Amino acid sequence: MNASESVTQISRSPSRIVVVDDEQDMRASISQWLSLSGFTPETYASAEEALAVVGPDFPGIVVTDIRMPGMDGMAFLKRLMGMDASLPVILITGHGDVPMAVEAMRLGAFDFLEKPFDPERMTDLARNALKARSLALENRALRHELADGTTIMRRLVGNSAEMVRLREDILDFGQADGHVLIDGETGTGKTLVAHALHAVGPRAGKRFVSVSCFGLDDDQLAARLFGPVETGGLPLTEEARGGTLCLEDVEALSPALQGRLLSFINAQATPPETRIVAVCNAHRPGNSLEDILRPDLYYRMAAMKLTLPPLRNRGEDILALFKSYAEDYAEEYGCPAPDLSAQDAAYLLQAPWPGNIRQLISIAEQAVLQNRRGSGSVVSLVMAENEASGGALTTEGKPLKDYVEAFERTLIDNTMRRHKGSIVAVMEELCLPRRTLNEKMAKYGLSRGDYV
């Protein structure tokens, strides 16, 4: 998998839900409700049929009845867990099957629903399971791509002061042995940074084990982290020995589990055999991370803390990132990447980007598809995204030189592209002497070789 493929795969969240039940009415009912809830259900009358479409990297989850002719739900679960232990499986049970469902959860099932079940409960479970699947596939894609630290550091695109400092901190922290806390808004690339910390340090050849603390109850999560593991495997703290254990959604840990994690950290020798990298993906409204985590755990972890900058504060990085993602999607869809106008660049710089890089990736893909159809504009996409998110365009906090430089860079980039790297033609069109053009191209990181 190359970098372009990995970026594309990671940016798309799993949405498919395989529904398996031998009763046609139940299949139809579940499918209808999931469709109304915004999911993409696929129905199958037997486990054997479903196994034909569910593979180790299936981009979704499975919802299955337990009592079925032929291969029942328990046998189906064992086949799925043997194929991909991180695949979330939700079981549908009758009243008498609850003990069996509890046993199935010990074998790796995500959760179960007892008939008759509340459709809203099913929606919540499906949403949580898809989030867990997204994280598992993202980590898997990153592991395939990251053969060394150099590769992943190239993924941390940007020349803003914030990104330069972040890369320096990653290199420094990566060589250290202490535990790390990663904070920042959603979509800023915290999981990528966690992988980078592991990849650039002496633990790079060891295991990188990741788990989301969200969506599991205390007993399930405690067993996965600290044991005993009913399936006979190792607890994650042991599985990651010598390497890194990444705790995604660390803010979801209950106070009791925070206490157990602190005890585990304190019991380790120096340097620790298992390094903990804790990733905070959401803050409760009005609370800081210090308010969410118990103080002794927070201060134990925050000795090395990385706070990722929001996209809106990264200036011209926004344009470089947009160009990179647009070129990736243009290659995937077999069409030209859209040229940014000066107005497009200004709108990209002004947007508040509540979804950060993930939102920018979405805009880049939509822009490529619009360009393929010959309709729409980047401006209209950004305006629509901001209206949908309740944001407002603003120039607050952005100096005039940012917009002047963005305009200059975009104008030179577009002109070089149009003239296929002909310096003489660009000089004539923009009325610039060669020395001035060379200085500006060097300033903005533009190279003639990229356009020839």
Is 195 contained in some domain? yes
Q: Look at residues 252, 285, 309 and tell me which one is the last residue of a structural domain.
A: 309
Reported as a single tens digit per residue, the pLDDT across 180-193 is 999 998 889 999 99
Whether the predicted pLDDT of 66 surpasses 50? yes
Inform me whether the pLDDT recorded for 6 exceeds 50: no
What string of DSSP letters covers 53-76? T--TT-SEEEEEES--SSS-HHHH
Q: What is the mean pLDDT of residues 199-218?
A: 87
Whether 190 is covered by a domain: the verdict is: yes
Looking at the structure, tell me whether residues 298 and 155 fall in a common domain.
yes
Q: What are phi and psi of 288, to 5 degrees?
A: -95, 175
Mean pLDDT of 110-123: 88
391, 416 Cβ separation under 8 angstroms: no
Do residue 331 and residue 258 come from a single domain? Answer: no
- Asked whether the beta carbons of 262 and 296 are under 8 A apart, the reply is yes
pLDDT of residue 1: 33
Task: Tell whether 304 and 164 lie within a shared domain.
Answer: yes
- 275 and 363 housed in the same domain: no
Calculate what percentage of the chain has a pLDDT beyond 90. Answer: 36
Domain edge (last residue) among 271, 294, 309: 309
420 within domain boundaries: yes
pTM comes to 0.62
Using one digit for the tens of pLDDT, what is the confidence trace for 363-402?
Answer: 999 899 888 887 767 777 777 766 655 554 444 455 666 6
Q: What is the pLDDT of residues 11-51, one digit of tens each?
A: 356 778 999 999 999 999 999 999 988 898 999 999 999 99
Q: Which residue is listed with tokens 């060669």? A: 434
Q: Give the pLDDT score at 7.
A: 34
Q: In what helix (H) or strand (E) does residue 278 lie, and over which residues does it extend?
A: strand 275-279
Is residue 105 located within the same domain as residue 229? no
Scored b (16 or more CB within 10 A) or e, 87-106 reads: bbbbbbbeeebeebbeebbe
Write the CB contacts of 100 (distance below 8 Å, at least 6 apart in sequence): 66, 74, 93
250 band by pLDDT with thresholds 50, 70 and 90: very high
| Domain that residue 210 falls in | 146-309
Name which of 225-229, 281-285, 324-328, 416-420 the model is least confident about.
281-285
Q: Which residues contact 193 (CB under 8 A, 6 or more apart)?
A: 156, 166, 170, 182, 306, 308
